[in-house]
């Protein structure tokens, strides 16, 4: 499921929602995919776009009949949630 979600690209940051740390939880049971995710901020203009993209991508996975996407801001997203490779490409310096 996480691989399927990697096709959803944040329009501002230009990277996928998994590597950006937006996907908090994914569970699948009885043909239903449940995705809990976030965005950079509550007021992010891309929230609907990201949520719809996640739902559409998850629907393409074999065996998935329906998808429930829950947006949450608890815990709040932080840049530390970004994968190391994406941090490097975005120019984030590692701080020890």
Write phi, then psi, for 25 (nearest 5 degrees): -155, 145
Name 16's Cβ contacts closer than 8 Å, sequence gap at least 6.
5, 6, 7, 8, 9, 10
- For each of the chain's 96 residues, which pLDDT tens digit applies? 999 999 999 999 999 999 999 999 999 999 999 999 999 999 999 999 999 999 999 999 999 999 999 999 999 999 999 999 999 998 876 654
Contact 39, 22 (CB under 8 A): yes
Instruction: Give the homologous superfamily in CATH for domain 2-75.
Output: Fe-S cluster assembly (FSCA) (3.30.300.130)
Helix (H) or strand (E) holding 32: strand 32-37
Both tokens of 70, joined, read 């829950």
pTM over 0.85: yes
Structural domain boundaries of the chain? 2-75
Please count the residues of the chain.
Answer: 96
HSE on the CB side for 11, CA within 13 Å?
A: 9
**Alpha-carbon dihedral 42, 43, 44, 50, rounded to 10 degrees:** 60
């Amino acid at each position: 499921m996480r691989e399927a979600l990697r096709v959803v690209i944040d329009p501002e940051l230009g990277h996928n929602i998994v590597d950006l740390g937006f996907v908090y939880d994914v569970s699948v049971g009885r043909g239903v995919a449940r995705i809990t995710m976030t965005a950079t901020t509550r007021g992010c203009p891309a929230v609907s776009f990201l949520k719809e993209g996640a739902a559409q991508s998850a629907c393409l996975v074999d065996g998935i009949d329906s998808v429930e996407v829950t947006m949450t801001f608890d815990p709040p997203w932080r840049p530390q949630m970004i994968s190391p490779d994406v941090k490097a490409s975005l120019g984030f310096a590692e701080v020890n």
